[in-house]
Amino acid sequence: MPTPIAITVKVTFTSTENPQPTWTVSPEPVLVPPGEQTIVWNLDPTSTAGAKFNPNKGIEQRDPSWPGANPTRMSDTQWSSPDNNNGGKKRKFIYMINVRYQGKTYTNRNYPQIENQPMGR
């Protein structure tokens, strides 16, 4: 069974009048050991109340060479994706985070990374 690797996403909105998000992604980058893994993104419960992952595209892989399947929604606060880290060399993959708040989608454009580690590390 794949080993779950957790990524915590915290989003805080500065106000309700003109919301501007502040993002914290931890760990960044996430280091993934070789083998079949599962990446799990969790929305931190201390995020602004009412913030949820976008139900259609909460997490989007931005690299077509990503060795896993597209991320899938588990709940309003959790997405996951397999990572088939069997390539044998260190590789980095960027992704986007999309959160819904007050009926609008906000995107983290800092492009956090998943770093697949090589064999023998």
Residues of the chain with pLDDT under 70: 1-3, 121
9 falls within a domain: yes
pLDDT confidence of residue 14: 87
d(CA 74, CA 76): 7
Best CA proximity match to 83, nearest among 20, 5, 19, 15: 5
Instruction: Give pLDDT, residue 13.
Output: 94
Range of the domain at 44: 3-115
Which residues touch 98 (CB under 8 Å, ≥6 apart)?
Answer: 53, 54, 57, 58, 59, 60, 105, 106, 107, 108
**Per-residue model confidence (pLDDT) at position 89:** 85
Looking at the domain assignment, is residue 121 inside a domain?
A: no
Burial class (CB in 10 A: 0-12, 13-18, 19+), 76: middle
Residue at 42 is within a domain: yes
Is residue 120 situated within a structural domain?
Answer: no
User: What CATH number did the domain enclosing 60 receive?
Assistant: 2.60.40.420
Tell whether pTM > 0.85.
yes
Secondary structure class of 12 (helix, strand, coil): strand
Give me the number of domains the chain comprises: 1
Predicted pLDDT at 39: 96
